[in-house]
Copies of this chain bind each other. A is one copy, B any other.
């Protein structure tokens, strides 16, 4: 409902775009909150009412992924492996979707060269891991450590797939995202295969 919501969403978007533009054209050092605000047509003070730092204005939230993961109904009796498998399936779909978004490649390119931005992504991931881990535990699906581990493995797989994708993109080779994600999952299963790894 309403004019207010629309305006907020528009401002939020303006800020994000202004930030990306500046990062690309002027570089990370020259991208100050003052210049972002100016370009977005708002005051510096208002910027901080939308984002708590310029880094978080540049990187996308992972709230969609998190919501999708939390929405997945899981049967109480399932083994950790089964739960991980289900959740990985959710990620696979989401990854293929997000990778096609307009801003995705722009942001990826920036992230590869700006450690400070990467930090903001990790902050998002930390939140996702914590929330998901706690949810798995509180719903009685998994005991503490396993819940934590499953959540970490989700984030881990996502990160590896993303990083490979971003690197290949920046090297010119464009690759099939779904296939890449699948490969990450396969490797994960192989590397930790009990016959060679466990005891």
Contact = CB atoms under 8 A, between A and B. Distances in A.
A188 B156 contact: no
B184 A190 contact: no
Nearest to A159: B152
Most buried by B among A119, A163, A193, A194: A193
Interface residues of A, number: 40
Interface string A112-133: 0000001100110010000000
How many protomers of this protein does the assembly include?
2
A163 B152 CA distance: 12
Interface in A166-195: 167, 183-184, 186-195
A84 B191 contact: yes
A197 B148 CA distance: 17
A196 B85 contact: yes
A191 B153 contact: yes
A188 to B, nearest CB: 6
A189 to B, nearest CB: 4
Contacts of A159: 152
Closest A-B pairs by Cβ, 3 of them:
A81-B196, A189-B198, A192-B192
